Structure 1
Amino acid sequence: MKYKNLGRTGVIVSRLGLGTMNFGPHTPEPEAHQIMDRALEAGINFFDTADIYGWQTGEGITEQIIGRWLAQSPGRRDQIVLATKVYGPMGTALNTSRLSALHIRRACEASLKRLQTDHIDLLQMHHIDRSTPWEEIWQAMELLVAQGKVLYIGSSNFAGWHISRAQENAARRQFLGLVSEQSVYNLLERTVELEVLPACRAYGIGLLPYSPLQGGLLAGAVRRAVSEGRGAETKNQERLKHCRDQLAAYEKWCADFGEEPAAVGLAWLLRQPGVTAPIVGPRTLAQLEGTLRATDVALGKAELAALDALFPGPGGAAPEAYAW
């Protein structure tokens, strides 16, 4: 495994992050524990979750699974950089979602209990809250940092201007502000190259791409459809129909290159400036094993150019990407 500083911070994380969204709804707890065991053994030290994962309002099922895994061996907690998220609905009453100071405090306390830890290394805002002022958000985050309950703050699904506004407000408070941003980013979805990625690079914020294989489309979906009679996840079936020829050409290119499509897709992300660690979210141990090769896949200029030709991006950063 290879490692990199998380954005402009001094903390070091693995170039692949373990996403846990499938733990509980799709991956039984014993297998989830096996996946975390194997990830740690392989050198993955960045574990990412969210309070809403498990998809039963207020339960925090995935955090509970991670907490029980951590409790099995107290030394595990010091071996990982643990990240979770706040924003989603954790109840049906008022003030049980979004980014009010009240909800941030309550949600953090609840996550700490479920994760069976005394601090969260990276607390990420899962979405932008247009109804709460940044003065309130940063005041709540500063308090959690001062109390030692949270070490770093990150964002997810922010636009470029959201990142800029957040950082300028944090700077006025002499607060570190955001150190990471999670966005959808992969060969098929490159919109973040317009403004989000440039903003992250300008402010020293590490980009943590989620859905790096677009729900399995970039992991050999066409081949699976032919050999096993199945393709991508249901939500991606229409996308598969639309870009089947493009994906078939990609899978052939990967075969000629001698690497699996999943490893190539992740390796491409690792070569993008500003990217810290793609978040892989395996449902099975076998899927995790299939991603570990990515950090060793060598993509040179010719290979990167070939992939750009197969999956054209927006043309670079805005406004040059679309203006004279």
Structure 2
Amino acid sequence: MNYAYLGKTGLKVSRLCLGTMNFGQSTDEKEAFRIMDAALDAGINFFDTANGYGGNKRGYTEEIIGRWFAQGGGRRERVVLATKVYGNMEDQNDGPNMASGLSAYKIRRHLAASLSRLQTDHIELYQMHHIERNATWDELWEVFQSLVQQGTVDYIGSSNFAGWHLAVAQAEAKARNMLGLVSEQHKYSLLCREPELEVLPSAKHHGIGVVAWSPLAGGLLGGNALKPEYGSRSSHEAKAIEERRSQLKRYAALCSDVGESESNLGLAWLLANPALTAPIIGPRTLGQLENSLRSVEIVINEETNKELDSIFPGPGKPAPEAYAW
């Protein structure tokens, strides 16, 4: 496994981040334990979750991870743990504050609940799952600063922030002599290259490591989208496949030519971007995890990169050059 610094920190994390959203939904606890054990054995030390994960039981994914930690054997000590706060936890005790959002009140309450479910006393990376448009940065940075000072949180990250949100957050943190954001978790893949306009340049400028979610575009780049025998699909999925069919066929042919799977080439393309710390892989099975390990070894040559740009054209340049002189 290869490692990279998380943003401008001295913390090294694996170039693949283990996503756990499937745990408790399509992946049962026993298989989740096998996946996490295998990830550690492969050198993956960066695990990502969220308090809202768990399907019909919000928080259930954190509970699974907590029970895995409780087995001991250095599991908790070896993991750089990231979780998130923002969503509706459907806790009636939150009263009018139950809806999705951020406040000092909610952050403290939901962090305490996450720590309990995860059976730990601290979180390495605590992430805002979405921008909060009502609370001020005075409120948010004050509560996050107190959590860092208490030792319950090491670093603060964001998710789904626009480029200008990152800039404002860092300016407000600097005014308080705070480190500010160290990571931004963002939707980014060959099929979703809009972040190249604003988010990636902003993150790079401010020393924020980018962690890509949905790096295989919800499975469209996973190699099975064009296989009709691969189970029934929702009308939304079927429509997405039809809209992208010509691209996906060209992509499959390219992958065949270079001798790599669609999923691993898609991950390798992300890993080659200097703005990216890690893509989040979300294996449902142990086999899927094992197959993805190859991606960190792939080196994409110039000819293949040009063909990828031809199949999946991005904005070409960052803003404003992408749409102005």
Instruction: Kindly state the Cα deviation for residue 273 of structure 1 after the two structures are TM-superposed.
Output: 2.1
Contact conserved, 2:23 with 2:32, CA < 8 A, in 1? Answer: yes
Q: Secondary structure at the match of 2:277?
A: coil
For 1:78, give the aligned amino acid: E
In structure 1, what is the Cα distance between the partners aligned to 2:294 and 2:113? Answer: 36
Q: Is residue 255 from structure 1 mapped to residue 256 from structure 2 by the alignment?
A: yes
Q: Secondary structure at the match of 1:98?
A: coil
Assess, with a 3 A threshold, how the Cα gap between structure 1 residues 45 and 235 changes in structure 2: closer, same or farther: farther
Instruction: Kindly state the Cα deviation for residue 219 of structure 1 after the two structures are TM-superposed.
Output: 1.0
For 2:221, give the aligned amino acid: L
Q: Which residue is 1:159 aligned to?
A: 162
In structure 1, what is the Cα distance between the partners aligned to 2:261 and 2:222? Answer: 8
The unaligned stretches of length 5 or more in structure 1 are: none
Q: Which residue is 2:146 aligned to?
A: 143
Instruction: Kindly state the Cα deviation for residue 100 of structure 1 after the two structures are TM-superposed.
Output: 0.3
For 1:46, give the aligned amino acid: F
Q: Secondary structure at the match of 2:157?
A: strand
Q: Secondary structure at the match of 1:152?
A: strand
Q: Is residue 8 from structure 1 mapped to residue 8 from structure 2 by the alignment?
A: yes
Q: CA RMSD in A?
A: 1.4
In structure 2, what is the Cα distance between the partners aligned to 1:123 and 1:229? Answer: 37
- Deviation per CA, 1:136-174: give whole Å up to 9, x if none: 000000010010000000000000011111110000000
- Deviation per CA, 1:38-65: give whole Å up to 9, x if none: 11111100000000001336x4000000
In structure 2, what is the Cα distance between the partners aligned to 1:56 and 1:106? Answer: 21
Assess, with a 3 A threshold, how the Cα gap between structure 1 residues 37 and 102 changes in structure 2: closer, same or farther: same
Instruction: Kindly state the Cα deviation for residue 283 of structure 1 after the two structures are TM-superposed.
Output: 1.0
TM-score, normalised to structure 2's length? 0.96
Q: Which residue is 2:31 aligned to?
A: 31
Q: Which residue is 1:84 aligned to?
A: 83
In structure 1, what is the Cα distance between the partners aligned to 2:170 and 2:237? Answer: 35
In structure 2, what is the Cα distance between the partners aligned to 1:94 and 1:25? Answer: 28
Instruction: Kindly state the Cα deviation for residue 297 of structure 1 after the two structures are TM-superposed.
Output: 0.9
In structure 1, what is the Cα distance between the partners aligned to 2:112 and 2:120? Answer: 10
Q: Which residue is 1:317 aligned to?
A: 318
Q: Which residue is 2:308 aligned to?
A: 307
Q: Secondary structure at the match of 1:9?
A: coil
For 2:295, give the aligned amino acid: A
In structure 1, what is the Cα distance between the partners aligned to 2:236 and 2:42? Answer: 31
Assess, with a 3 A threshold, how the Cα gap between structure 1 residues 60 and 229 changes in structure 2: closer, same or farther: closer
Contact conserved, 1:216 with 1:233, CA < 8 A, in 2? Answer: no
For 1:281, give the aligned amino acid: G
For 2:96, give the aligned amino acid: L
In structure 2, what is the Cα distance between the partners aligned to 1:11 and 1:77? Answer: 16
Assess, with a 3 A threshold, how the Cα gap between structure 1 residues 314 and 30 changes in structure 2: closer, same or farther: same
Contact conserved, 1:231 with 1:237, CA < 8 A, in 2? Answer: no
Instruction: Kindly state the Cα deviation for residue 236 of structure 1 after the two structures are TM-superposed.
Output: 2.6
- For 1:275-290, what aligned pairs fall within 5 Å after superposition? 275-290=276-291
> How much identity, in percent, do the aligned residues show?
56
Q: Secondary structure at the match of 1:153?
A: strand
Q: Which residue is 1:207 aligned to?
A: 210
Q: Which residue is 1:217 aligned to?
A: 220
Instruction: Kindly state the Cα deviation for residue 113 of structure 1 after the two structures are TM-superposed.
Output: 0.5
Contact conserved, 1:266 with 1:278, CA < 8 A, in 2? Answer: yes
- Deviation per CA, 1:23-48: give whole Å up to 9, x if none: 00111000011110111111100000
Q: Secondary structure at the match of 1:30?
A: helix
Aligned residues: 321
In structure 1, what is the Cα distance between the partners aligned to 2:238 and 2:202? Answer: 33
Contact conserved, 2:203 with 2:209, CA < 8 A, in 1? Answer: yes
TM-score, normalised to structure 1's length? 0.96
The unaligned stretches of length 5 or more in structure 2 are: none
Q: Secondary structure at the match of 1:84?
A: strand
Q: Secondary structure at the match of 2:313?
A: coil
For 1:241, give the aligned amino acid: E
- For 1:110-129, what aligned pairs fall within 5 Å after superposition? 110-129=113-132
For 1:8, give the aligned amino acid: K
In structure 2, what is the Cα distance between the partners aligned to 1:25 and 1:270? Answer: 28
For 2:223, give the aligned amino acid: G
Q: Which residue is 2:67 aligned to?
A: 68
Q: Which residue is 1:192 aligned to?
A: 195
For 2:279, give the aligned amino acid: P
Q: Secondary structure at the match of 1:259?
A: coil
In structure 2, what is the Cα distance between the partners aligned to 1:176 and 1:31? Answer: 38
For 1:44, give the aligned amino acid: I
- Deviation per CA, 1:101-124: give whole Å up to 9, x if none: 000001111110000011000000
Q: Which residue is 1:98 aligned to?
A: 101
